[in-house]
Amino acid sequence: MGVSERRLREKAALRSKILEAAGQLIVDEGLQNVSIRRIAERIEYSPSTIYLYFRDKGDLISAICESVFLELGSRLAEIEHRIDDPLESLRKGLRCYIDFGVEHRNHYLVTFGLPCDREVDSSTPEYKRMSACGGRAFDSLRRALKRCAEAGYFDPADIEATGQAIWTQIHGMTSLLITSYGGPGFPWVEREKLINTGLDLILAGLVAERSVACG
């Protein structure tokens, strides 16, 4: 490995370390209580080091969200290209979303669990790039629904509304699995059973909609 390649890897590793520390702190302490200095203390670097990678806290948050959308989008694209049956592909994609969120709990909560007025300037190139990545990730769900409709599994009257409704359902399940599942005071069923039942109900509802329309 050459010197330049090693330096690039070291920079990428430090950038990832900053993002991980920021995500953990934001979830643990709240967005308003986390500063660049606080993040620097967590990773035992100076604040000036973080400013070499990110302009400010808003830029850092945008980077966390972008990393989520890029990796999630990549995983969903792989499923889309690997599985031919549209309904199976849709189910696998929804399951992938849930598993991804649980696996990356801190970054998921920063991306999808913060108020919309978080400290991010929507006019910056970083925000626009992040938003574009999010749009591409959601496009995979739109395409999955269209493929199912074209195959005759169901015929949603409004692909966009259907996609957003499905996303709210799997987001709700993902968030509960991250924050509440297994906690005391509620008789949770086994995790796999809960996830599979939820996915069954989503897909059964879509197919039933087709049956009602045809009837």
| pLDDT of 4 | 81
Query: pLDDT by residue (tens digit) across 133-151?
Result: 899 999 999 999 999 999 9
Distances (CA, A) of 125 to 10, 17, 53, 63, 139: 25, 23, 15, 11, 21
The domains located in the chain, with CATH, are: 1-53 (1.10.10.60), 71-214 (1.10.357.10)
CA distance 209 to 215: 10
CA distance 16 to 21: 9
Query: pLDDT by residue (tens digit) across 1-39?
Result: 677 888 889 999 999 999 999 999 999 998 888 999 999
| pTM for the whole structure | 0.88
* Six token digits for residue 94: 């929804």
